[in-house]
Amino acid sequence: MSRPRIVIVGAGFAGYRTARALSRLVRHKAEITLLNPTDYFLYLPLLPQVAAGILEPRRVSVSLSGTLPHVRLVLGEADSVDLDGRSVHYTDPEGGGGTLAYDRLVLAVGSVNKLLPIPGVAEHAHGFRGLPEALYLRDHVTRQVELAATEDDPKSRAARCTFVVVGAGYTGTEVAAHGQMYTDAQVRRHPLRHGMRPRWMLLDIAPRVLPEMHERLAQTADRVLRQRGVEVRMGTSVKEATRDGVLLTDGEFVDTRTLVWCVGVRPDPLVESTGQPLERGRLLVDPHLQVPGRPEVFACGDAAAVPDLNNPGTYTPMTAQHAWRHGKVVAQNVAASLGVGERRAYRHRDLGFVVDLGGTKAAANPLGIPLPGPLAGAVTRGYHLAAMPGNRVRVAADWLLDSVLPRQAVQLGLVRSWSVPLDTASPELARVPGRPEPRQTASTGSGPGAATPGDTTPASAPPSEHIAELARNQPGGEPAKGGFGGEAARNQPGGEPARNQPGGEPARNRSGGGPARNRSGGEPAKGQPASEAAGNQPGGEPPGPVKRHPAEGDS
């Protein structure tokens, strides 16, 4: 008699935990298959430290085959789910197709970038959801400071040294905090002319940073950022982005070459193809994380709307903490459906939050206890070490070396601007020559670039007619090669390689929850004319022909 087939789609926090727990519960009683576009689990909370040069990329990438020995790994992105036929169709990294049949299915596909219809943002901004984006940002920031050091024009020099981060949730706050420290370290070793210091701005229409956290912790983070020199502007966001800078909602125009988009995420659109009831894009499940009417199908993580039994009438938020716990409960319930153990409903207890602000600074309230100063920093790093399912010694070693050695500020040139467009539903996948063109699924949210609690849901939105007007007026056209959001001209020192130079393919991963389908960007944003092709992405067109898939139509 054949063993039951369990298919898990996605190896983010929820999917990875499900696979690990199931492999221990059912062992050889079932065949467990994990479908993911990469062979690693990305520990997303430490990604800002990769962009700041503290950690090497492999430190936050935990091997799936190395830590899940009893799980079969299939590399690919899920394209569709046939619930009646009990199968999942996927596309492998080389463009081939395949189908996985299942007796039990766990959808842990996580979340994708949320792109709002603000003119110019799709062309000139970059997100921060995957390794390619972190590596690109580190190279880009390093390059801008190095170019500023040799720039004769004071205005251009100031623009290159101005970095704008939109969204003051967890991700945006950490990116701004670490970014300011990184660039300050650069200019201490190689001072800029006239004593100029890099300028970092953190914007959000929320009334304070980290609006999802306790006010005391938010005040701590705000104080640390301001003391470090970050311009924190609450109640302000981006009204329009151009190649020369950004127009803010308060009317000020800021000259800059860098816009980092951290305004939140939305559930992966794969769940829409199931035809099952949704709650704001998330697949509705019962307290046992089963899809109603489909007892063989389970969902967890950012893509699942899980009832919050501690707050009736609400759903658990899209956070890594919940996704990790969802995975354990799903594993127990899948095993129970196969006759191993008993099923349980999902209940949670808030364990608090930690936000790493760089150095010894952090904002933390473990078990609801607010911690001050260096103690918060120690607890934050201790929490991350305990939470990581691997690479702990290597991460601790990098932290130790960073504390005693100067940080290396070098450009690796592995990821180019056009490889990581904001208008993509797969931020963990860098565009490479020859890869089939993925379908467009980027979100066009409902607000003017505002970050939201937990970086997950829409914030206060302007009237719908204003959004429609923004979408209609969104400009097209290719930004200048040395312009905002792009890179310096390719023949300039420190610039990007030529467009037709073969590039290595960065590993693919669903950061924070699971795989998207075969998408890596290049389609126009919603509201942008369809004639504006991938070439309008910052940095120019990717080389080589692409194959288009039909368009369709996450902490």
> What value does the mean pLDDT take over residues 519-544?
39
Task: Please say if the pLDDT value at position 533 is more than 50.
Answer: no
Residue 179's pLDDT is what? 96
Task: Please say if the pLDDT value at position 344 is more than 70.
Answer: yes
Rounded CA-CA distance 26/336 in Å is 10
Task: Please say if the pLDDT value at position 377 is more than 90.
Answer: yes
Maximum distance among all alpha carbons in the chain? 78
What proportion of the chain, given as a percentage, has pLDDT over 70?
77
Choice between 502 and 162, residue whose per-residue pLDDT is larger: 162
Rounded CA-CA distance 168/202 in Å is 7
Task: Please say if the pLDDT value at position 379 is more than 90.
Answer: yes
Taking only the tens place, the pLDDT of each residue in 164-195 is 999 999 999 999 999 999 999 999 888 887 77
Choice between 26 and 351, residue whose per-residue pLDDT is larger: 26
Choice between 221 and 533, residue whose per-residue pLDDT is larger: 221
Whether the Cβ atoms of residue 408 and residue 110 lie closer than 8 Å to each other: no
Q: In terms of DSSP bridges, do strands 258-261 and 162-166 run parallel, antiparallel, or are they unpaired? A: parallel
Residue 105's pLDDT is what? 98
* Residue 204, SS3 per DSSP: strand
Residue 434's pLDDT is what? 61
Taking only the tens place, the pLDDT of each residue in 269-295 is 899 989 999 999 999 999 999 999 999
Distances from the Cα of 349 to the Cα of 103, 186, 346, 384, 477, angstroms? 32, 42, 10, 19, 49
* Residue 510, SS3 per DSSP: coil
Choice between 439 and 273, residue whose per-residue pLDDT is larger: 273
Using the 8-state DSSP alphabet, how is residue 371 labeled?
B
Q: Identify the weakest region by mean pLDDT among 144-153, 181-190, 543-552.
A: 543-552
> What value does the mean pLDDT take over residues 45-72?
94
Task: Please say if the pLDDT value at position 343 is more than 50.
Answer: yes
Whether the Cβ atoms of residue 36 and residue 11 lie closer than 8 Å to each other: yes
Rounded CA-CA distance 510/504 in Å is 19
Residue 161's pLDDT is what? 95
Residue 141: closest CA among 121, 122, 165: 165
Taking only the tens place, the pLDDT of each residue in 481-525 is 334 444 433 333 333 333 333 333 333 334 344 433 433 333 334
pLDDT, averaged across the chain: 80
How confident is residue 214, by pLDDT bands cut at 50, 70 and 90?
Answer: confident
Taking only the tens place, the pLDDT of each residue in 352-363 is 889 999 989 999
Q: Burial, 181: exposed, middle or buried (Cβ in 10 Å; 0-12, 13-18, 19+)? A: buried
Residue 419's pLDDT is what? 75
Whether the Cβ atoms of residue 443 and residue 266 lie closer than 8 Å to each other: yes
> What value does the mean pLDDT take over residues 237-252?
95
Which of 105-119, 227-241, 401-415 is predicted most confidently? 227-241
Using the 8-state DSSP alphabet, how is residue 260 labeled?
E
Taking only the tens place, the pLDDT of each residue in 453-482 is 333 333 333 333 333 333 333 333 333 333
Residue 427's pLDDT is what? 64
Rounded CA-CA distance 355/79 in Å is 35
Q: Identify the weakest region by mean pLDDT among 60-74, 253-267, 366-380, 529-543.
A: 529-543
pTM over 0.85: no
